[in-house]
Structure 1
Amino acid sequence: MQQNNGLDKNQLISFALFSLILIGAMFYFQNKQAREQMAIDAQNKTANAKVAAQNATKPAIVTNLNDSVKTTSIQQVQLKNKELTLAVSTLGGQISTVQLNEYKAYNRKTDTNDKELLLFDKNNSTYGFQFKDKTGKTFNTKDLVFTPTQNGNTVTMQANVNGAVIQFIYTLMDKYTVDFNVKTQGLSQLVSDQKANFVWDFNAREMEKGRAQEQTHTEFNYTFDNYSSFDYDGRTSMDEPDETLNWLGIKQQFFAAVIEPQNGFKNSKGEQEMIDEGEFLKKFNFDGQVDLAGSELNQNFKWYFMPLDLPLLKSYDKNFDELLPLGWSFIGSMNRWFFIPMYNLISSWGLAAGWVIFLMTIIVKIILSPVMFKQHKLSAMMRVIRPEIDEVNAKYKDADPMKKQQEVMSVYRKAGVNQMAGCLPALLQIPIFYALFRFFPNMIDLRGKSFWFAKDLTAYDDVIKLPFNIPFLGEHLSIFAIACTVVILIYTVMTSGNIQQPQQEGMPNMKVLMYIFPITFLFFLNTSASGLSWYYFVSNAINILIILVIKYWILDEKKIHATIQANKQKEPKKEGKFQKRMREMMEKAQEQQKLQQQQAGKKK
C-alpha cells in the first residue's frame, strides 16, 4: 500500500528551483520598476517647475472660487500652516478647500502618489446651519454671502440676515485643528425655536489605489457618552435620536474629517450612498441638531482634518484612535500592543518596509514554534499509523459507519495520538490572520512604501495587467498574491496525506476541497494589500521549511512507529472528556439509527 509522505527529495529540489525563479523575477521587476519610476520622476520634475513658475505670479491670499459667480462677491481666503492649507469661501462662510501638505493622493495616470491630497475641494463639501424663521420658512447659512476679515491665521466671516448678524471665526491652530467659533446677534428676532440644524453634505474623493478597499473603509464614525462610547456606520444610514454626539467624522482609509461641537449634536441622522465609478467613492449627508441659548447661536466648534496615525490620534485624548479600524476587542489589542509596536521597532532600524514585514513574520513564527512543532510532530505520527487506519477502513467497509468511526478512534487512542491537538495551531492562526487583515490596509506608515514590484504595500500590485475583466479578480493579477497562492498549494500537498478520505457515499472529497482553498485565496488576495500577501508568502514558505526540517532531520519515523507499537501493548489511556463525549454521542447516534431501522422494518 502506497503511503503519501508529503514531498520527496525531488519535490524539495523543485521547490528550491521555484523559489530561485520567483526571487529572480522579483528582482527583474524591481529593476524594471526603478527605470520606469526614474522616467516618471523626470517628467514630474519638469511639470512641477512649470507650475511653480506660474504660481509665482498669483496672489497669495485671496483668489476666485468660482468663475461662474462675480469675482467681486465670491472669494476664498487662505489659511496655512505646515500641515494644512485651507481656503475659506465667502459663499456660506465655509471651508471650501482642505489640503494635507505632507501627503499625496494616488494618481491613476502615473500609478503613484503624486497628486495634491485634497479632502475638500471643488464643492465636494458644503455645510451650514439651518434655522426656521417665524414664518415657518427655513434658511441656511451656506446660501449666504459673507464678508471676510483676515488677521494672520484667523479669518472672520460676517453676514447680515434681515438685521441679524452671523459671524464664523476660523483660526488655524497647530497641526490639524481648526477652531470654528460661531456667534450671532439679533437672531432671536428672526427664529421661532431654540434649535438649529447643522447640515453637512460631503462626497468622499478617491485618494488611494484600490477603489473597493477604500470604499469599505469610508464611513461615518462618532462618539457619545462624554467621548467614552464609539460607533461607526458603513451601511446606508445612521440614526441616533437618543444620543448626544461628542464628535462626528467621515473617515476614509487613511484620512478623516471630523467636526466637534462644544455642546454636542442631538437627534443625529445621516445617509450614505455608494458611487460606482468616477472621482468620488461615497456620498454622505449628515443632519445634527444644536441648541440655541436665548434664540442665539454662540457656540464653539472644532474641525479636525487628520491622517489616521495612531500616536497622533491618541494625543488628542478624544477617543480619535477608534477612527483607526484595527479590529474589535482581542484583535484590536493584538494590533495596538503587538504588531504596531513590533513594526515601529524594526522599521526604526532603517530597513525597507518589505524586510520589516519579513522580520515580523520570522518573529511570529518563533513565538508560535512550540505549538507548530507539536502540530508537525502529530502530522508525522499520523502518517506512520496511516496503514492501520486504512486497514480498519477496509475491514469495516460494509459495516455501520458509526462502528467504523469508533474503531478508527480506538486506533488513534491506542497509538497515543490526539487528533484535536492539531486544531490548536489552526485556531491560533485565525485571530492572527484577522489582525493582520486589519493591520496592513490601515497602517499609514506603510502607505506609499514600495517593495520589489509592489509600489504600495497597503494596496495590490498590478504589474500583470489584463486586457479584460475577470469577475472577483478584476483587470490585473497580483504577483504577490500568485506567489502566496503557490506556496499555500505546496504546503497543502505536503500536509494532505494525513487527511482521511470519507467512505460514505455523497460525502465531499476533503483532499479536493483542500486544493480548492488556495485557489479561492487568490481571489481574496488579488485585490488586498500586497503587504498581507507578502507576509503570508513568507509565513507559508517557512511552514514548508519547518516540515522538511522536521521530516528529514528531527523526527525519526521508525522510532515513532516503535513508540506507537509500545503504546498499543500498554493499557489504553483513560479517555479525555472530549473523547468520552464524542464516543457517547456516536453510541447514542448508533442506537437511534438502529431504532429507526427497526421501526422502518415493522412498517414494511
Structure 2
Amino acid sequence: MQQNNGVGKSQLISFAVFSLILMGVMFYFQSKQQPVEDGAKPSVQPVQKSNVPQLQRHPDTASIQKVQLKNDLLTVDFTTLGGQIANVKLNKFNAFDEKIKDKPVLLFSGNNADYGFQFKDKSGKLVDTKDLIFKSTTDGNTISMQANAGEATITFIYTLLDQYTIDFKVRTQGLTSLVSDNKADFVWNYNVREIEKGRSQEQTHTEFVYAFNNYKSYDYDSRGDMNEEKEILNWIGVKQQFFSALIESESGFKNSSGHQEVIEKGEFLKKFHYNGHVDLVANELNQDFKWYFMPLDLKLLKSYGKNFDEILPLGWSFIGFINRGFFIPVYNMLSSWGIAAGWVIFLMTIAVKFILSPIMYKQHKLSAMMRVIRPEIEEVQEKYKKADPMKKQQATMEVYRKAGVNQFAGCLPGLVQIPIFYALFRFFPNMLDLRGKSFWFVDDLTAYDDVIKLPFNIPFLGEHLSVFALACTIVILIYTIMSAGNMQQPTQEGMPNMKPLMYIFPITFMFFLNSAASGLSWYYFVSNAINIVIILVIKYFILDEKKIHAQIQENKAKPKKEGRFQTRMREMMEKAQAQQRQVEQMKKQQQKKK
C-alpha cells in the first residue's frame, strides 16, 4: 500500500524558484511606477459635476459674506447665510485623486452640508435659521453672527479651539414672543464626499455614529433609518473611513431620527439627514455645542475622553482587544524604528507566527502522526467497506485512540486564526498611520493596488487585478496543496469530500482580497509563505517520522483512558446504533403484521 510522503525536496526547490520569480515580478512593477519630478506640474482636469443635486441654498446676494478662521490643523469658512460653517479643510491631509496632486481633504465644501434650528411660531409657521441672513463680527479666533427673526434676536458664536474643535454657542433674546413650543429641531443634511481610493470600501465605512448614556454607550448605523426616540444623544456624527464630522450638545439631543441613502456614482458616497430636539428654557434657546472635524487617530480620539475612540471600527469585544492590545502597539513600536510600512507589516507577521509557533508545531506533528497511521486507517476502511457506516467510524476512531492521536486537535489552529483574521480585516483599512504609505508598487497600503488594469469589468472582481492579492492567492493555493495531502477521505457514505472545497477556497479568496486593503494581502502573502517554509523545515529538520512511528507503537501498547470528548462521541454513536436497531425492529414487526 503506497503512502503519501508529503512534500519532496524537488518541491522545496520549486517553491524557492517560485518565490524568486514572484519577488522579481513585484520589483518589476515597482520600477514601472515613475515618480513625478519635483519641477513637474501634473495636468489638472476640471472636476466633473456630480449627478447628485447640491443641498438647496438661497441665491447669492450682496449681503452674504464668508469669514475664515484657521489654525495649524483646520481651515474653516463661515457663511452669513444661515450663520453656518460652509467649508472645512483638514490642513495636514490630502484626498486621493488620480489626476490632481495634493488634493485637499474637504469635509464641508461646495454646499454639500447645511444645518440649523427650526422653530414653529405661534401661527404654526416654520422658522428656519438656515434661511436667515446673519451679520458677522470677528474678534481673534471668535466669530459672532447675529440675525433677527421677527422680534427675536438669534446669535451664533463660533470659536476655533485647539486641534480639531470648534466651540458653538447659541443665544437667543425675545424668542418667547415668537414661539409657542418648548423645543427646537436641530436639522443637519450632509452629502458625504468621496476621499479615499476604493469607493465600495469607503462607502462601507461611512455611517452614523453617536454616543448616549452620559457618553458611556456608543452605537452606529450603516443602513437606512436610525431612530433613538428614548435616548438622549451626547453627540451625533458621520464617520468615513479615516475622517469624521460630529456635533456635541451639552444638554443632549432628544427624540433623534436619521436617514441615509447610498449614492451609486459621482463625487458623493452617501446622503445623510439627521433631526434631533433641543430644549428651550423659558422659550429661549441658550445652548452650548461643539463641532469636531477629526481624523480617526486612536490616540487623538482617546484624548477627548468622550468615547470618541469607539468611532474607530477595530471590532467588538475580543477582536477589538487584539487590535488595541497587540496589533496597534506592535505597529507603533516597529514603525518608530523608521522602517517602511510594508516591512513593518512583514515584521508583524513574523511576530504573530512566533507567538503561534507552539500551536503550529503541534498541528504539524499531528499531521505527521496521521500520515504515519494512514495505512492502518485505510485497512480499517477496506475491512468495513460493506459494513454498517457507524461500525466503520467506531473502528476508525479506535485506531486513532490506540495511537494516541486526537484528530480534532487539528481544528485548534484554525479556530485561533479566525479572530486574528477578523482583527486584521479591521486593522488594515482603518489604521490612519498606514493611509497613503507606499510600498514597492503600492501607493496606499489601506487600499487595493491596481497596477494590472483590465479593459473590462469582471463581476465581483472589478476592472483591475491586485498584484498582492494575486500573489497571496497563489501562495495560499500552494500551502493548501501541501497540507491537504494529510486530509483523510470521508469515512462514512454520504459525507462530502472536503479536499475540492479546500482548493476552491483560495480562488474565492481572490475575489475578496482584490478590492481589500493591499496591506492585508501583503500580510497574508508573507504569512502563508512562512507557513510553507515551516512545513518544509519541520518535515526535513525537526520531525522524524520513524521516531513518530515508534512513539505510536508505544502508545498502542499502553492502556488508554478515554477523554471526555471521546467518551461522549462513543456514547453518541452507541445511542445512534441502538436507535437504528430499534427502527429496524419496528420495520420488521410492521412487515410481519402485513
Length-normalised TM-score, structure 1: 0.94
Counterpart code for 1:17: V
Residue range with higher mean Cα deviation, 279-288 or 101-110: 101-110
1:376 is aligned to: 364
Q: Does 1:38 align with 2:36?
A: yes
Judged with a 3 Å threshold, the aligned counterparts in structure 2 of structure 1 residues 585 and 67 are, in CA distance, closer, same or farther, namely closer
What is the DSSP-based 3-state SS (H/G/I as helix, E as strand, rest coil) of the residue aligned with 2:96? Answer: strand
Q: Does 1:103 align with 2:93?
A: yes
How many Å apart are 1:424 and its aligned residue? 1.5
Counterpart code for 1:418: N
1:553 is aligned to: 541
Match runs of 1:284-295 below 5 Å: 284-295=272-283
How many Å apart are 1:43 and its aligned residue? 4.0
Q: Deviations over 1:232-279 (max 9, x none)?
A: 111111111111111111011000001001100000011111111111
How many Å apart are 1:46 and its aligned residue? 8.3
Aligned equivalents of 2:500, 2:587: Cα separation in 1: 36
Q: CA RMSD in A?
A: 1.7
Question: 8 Å contact 2:242–2:432 — kept in the other structure?
Answer: yes
How many Å apart are 1:602 and its aligned residue? 3.6
Question: 8 Å contact 2:182–2:280 — kept in the other structure?
Answer: yes
Structure 1 residue corresponding to 2:72, chosen from 82, 92, 96: 82
2:566 is aligned to: 579
Aligned equivalents of 1:535, 1:67: Cα separation in 2: 48
Counterpart code for 1:90: T
Aligned equivalents of 1:236, 1:79: Cα separation in 2: 35
Aligned equivalents of 1:407, 1:359: Cα separation in 2: 46
Q: Does 1:526 align with 2:519?
A: no
Aligned equivalents of 1:44, 1:167: Cα separation in 2: 45
Aligned equivalents of 1:257, 1:205: Cα separation in 2: 12
Match runs of 1:115-130 below 5 Å: 115-130=103-118
How many Å apart are 1:307 and its aligned residue? 0.2
Q: Deviations over 1:21-42 (max 9, x none)?
A: 1101111111211x1x325x65
1:280 is aligned to: 268
Residue range with higher mean Cα deviation, 93-102 or 3-12: 3-12
1:254 is aligned to: 242
Aligned equivalents of 2:430, 2:438: Cα separation in 1: 16
Aligned equivalents of 1:100, 1:486: Cα separation in 2: 40
Question: 8 Å contact 2:392–2:491 — kept in the other structure?
Answer: no
How many Å apart are 1:10 and its aligned residue? 1.4
How many Å apart are 1:75 and its aligned residue? 1.8
Question: 8 Å contact 2:69–2:75 — kept in the other structure?
Answer: yes
Structure 1 residue corresponding to 2:329, chosen from 341, 364, 384: 341
1:597 is aligned to: 584
1:394 is aligned to: 382
Aligned equivalents of 1:597, 1:102: Cα separation in 2: 77
2:318 is aligned to: 330
Q: Deviations over 1:204-259 (max 9, x none)?
A: 11111111111111111111111111111111111111111111110110000010
1:194 is aligned to: 182
Aligned equivalents of 2:165, 2:42: Cα separation in 1: 32
Question: 8 Å contact 1:66–1:74 — kept in the other structure?
Answer: no
Aligned equivalents of 1:235, 1:454: Cα separation in 2: 31
How many Å apart are 1:70 and its aligned residue? 4.0
The alignment-based identity, stated in percent, is 71
What is the DSSP-based 3-state SS (H/G/I as helix, E as strand, rest coil) of the residue aligned with 1:454? Answer: coil
1:365 is aligned to: 353
Judged with a 3 Å threshold, the aligned counterparts in structure 2 of structure 1 residues 299 and 568 are, in CA distance, closer, same or farther, namely same
Question: 8 Å contact 2:212–2:231 — kept in the other structure?
Answer: yes
Aligned equivalents of 2:454, 2:494: Cα separation in 1: 39
Aligned equivalents of 1:252, 1:447: Cα separation in 2: 13
Aligned equivalents of 2:296, 2:388: Cα separation in 1: 60
How many Å apart are 1:138 and its aligned residue? 1.0
2:22 is aligned to: 22
How many Å apart are 1:13 and its aligned residue? 1.3
Match runs of 1:475-490 below 5 Å: 475-490=463-478
What is the DSSP-based 3-state SS (H/G/I as helix, E as strand, rest coil) of the residue aligned with 1:465? Answer: strand
2:52 is aligned to: none
Aligned equivalents of 2:499, 2:269: Cα separation in 1: 41
Question: 8 Å contact 1:5–1:494 — kept in the other structure?
Answer: no
Counterpart code for 1:170: Y
Aligned equivalents of 2:491, 2:367: Cα separation in 1: 21
How many Å apart are 1:152 and its aligned residue? 2.4
Judged with a 3 Å threshold, the aligned counterparts in structure 2 of structure 1 residues 220 and 411 are, in CA distance, closer, same or farther, namely same
Q: Deviations over 1:261-319 (max 9, x none)?
A: 11000000111111111111111100000001111111111000000001100111111
How many Å apart are 1:562 and its aligned residue? 1.4
Aligned equivalents of 2:338, 2:395: Cα separation in 1: 58
How many Å apart are 1:47 and its aligned residue? 6.8
What is the DSSP-based 3-state SS (H/G/I as helix, E as strand, rest coil) of the residue aligned with 1:265? Answer: strand
Counterpart code for 1:266: K
Question: 8 Å contact 1:463–1:478 — kept in the other structure?
Answer: yes
Number of equivalenced pairs: 582
Question: 8 Å contact 1:454–1:530 — kept in the other structure?
Answer: yes
Match runs of 1:67-466 below 5 Å: 69-109=59-99, 114-466=102-454
Judged with a 3 Å threshold, the aligned counterparts in structure 2 of structure 1 residues 136 and 168 are, in CA distance, closer, same or farther, namely same
Q: Deviations over 1:124-154 (max 9, x none)?
A: 1110001011011111101111111122221
Aligned equivalents of 2:588, 2:64: Cα separation in 1: 92
Aligned equivalents of 1:567, 1:322: Cα separation in 2: 52
Aligned equivalents of 1:290, 1:70: Cα separation in 2: 30
Judged with a 3 Å threshold, the aligned counterparts in structure 2 of structure 1 residues 584 and 183 are, in CA distance, closer, same or farther, namely same
Q: Deviations over 1:56-104 (max 9, x none)?
A: xxxxxxxxx9998345122211111110111111111100101101001
What is the DSSP-based 3-state SS (H/G/I as helix, E as strand, rest coil) of the residue aligned with 2:539? Answer: helix
Counterpart code for 1:185: Q
Aligned equivalents of 2:77, 2:469: Cα separation in 1: 42
